[in-house]
Structures are given as C-alpha cells and as structure tokens.
Amino acid sequence: MSGTSDEDAIRDLVRTVEEGWNAGSGERFAAPFAEDSDYVIVYGTHAKGRAMIADGHQQIFDTIYAGSNNTFTVEDVRFFRPDVALAHVHHVLRFHQEAGAQEAEARSTWVLTKEDGRWSVAAFQNTAIVPFEGPPGRP
C-alpha cells in the first residue's frame, strides 16, 4: 500500500518544517504545506493557505519566538490510502520571556496527500499539552 520511500518523504517534510522554525523563516516553515492547506494553530485560530501560514509564522519568529528552538519528534505515520497519510508530531518549544527560559509542549496532527508524485501537508492542527484539570482553554 505504501513504500518506505513515502514514509521517508513525509518524515523529510516534517523535518523541513522544523528547520524552518529554527531558522526563523516563515517561508521555509510553510514550504511543505499545500497552497490551500488548512492550519489550526495552537490558539484555535484557523489559518487558510500556505501564504497565511508563512506570514503568520514570520510574525511570531520575529517577535515572541525570536531565538526560540522547536524540537519535532514524529510519533507515528499511517496511510489511509497509498496517497493519503496521517502523522502525529510531538513538539518541545524552548523560548525566552522576561521571566526567563520557558518550555512548552504541543502535539499536532498532520494530514498529507501525494499529488503528482509529491507529498505535501493538506491539513494540520496543533494543541498545547497541558495538565488534565479544569475546563479546556483554562488550564
């Protein structure tokens, strides 16, 4: 149903997004996303399309996450179809605030499709990992 080369391509694509973050480049971060990709950010807002993903990330790379480091770990990759896959990624973000060094964890779902022999991210959603107590959104 799916060759190792497909999974390798997907893992490479995740690595490109990670490298884009750590280089502070919104354009590089967004390159693996499809032009019409759906991206739900960690605050629950829905960004539509690669250009918006690039611009939005460039803004945070230049401000609150300037100099930050984000480690991406692929937790699993599975194939719904030979050309449609799902991946989960665990993120550890290290950044600086006035209060000092901070660390935040998140988990993301990636939907990837292969069009004309090339994989891209068709949809993505990110969620902060927070203690399971109290209502959602008020950790």
Q: Summarize as ranges the residues that interact with a second copy (CB under 8 A).
A: 38, 40-46, 64, 75, 80-81, 83-84, 86, 88, 93, 95, 97, 102, 104-109, 111, 113, 122-132, 135-139
Query: Token digits for 112?
Result: 């990837």
- Nearest to a second copy of 4, 98 (CB atom): 98
Residue with tokens 């008020």: 138
- Nearest to a second copy of 23, 84 (CB atom): 84
- Nearest to a second copy of 31, 41 (CB atom): 41
How far apart are alpha carbons 131 and 94 in whole angstroms? Answer: 18
- Cβ count within 10 A of residue 109: 14
Residue 88: CB minimum distance to a second copy, A: 6
How far apart are alpha carbons 51 and 48 in whole angstroms? Answer: 8
Residue 4: CB minimum distance to a second copy, A: 21
Residue 59: CB minimum distance to a second copy, A: 10
Query: Token digits for 9?
Result: 């391509």
Please state the φ and ψ torsions of residue 6, each to the nearest 5 degrees.
-65, -45
Residue 104: CB minimum distance to a second copy, A: 5
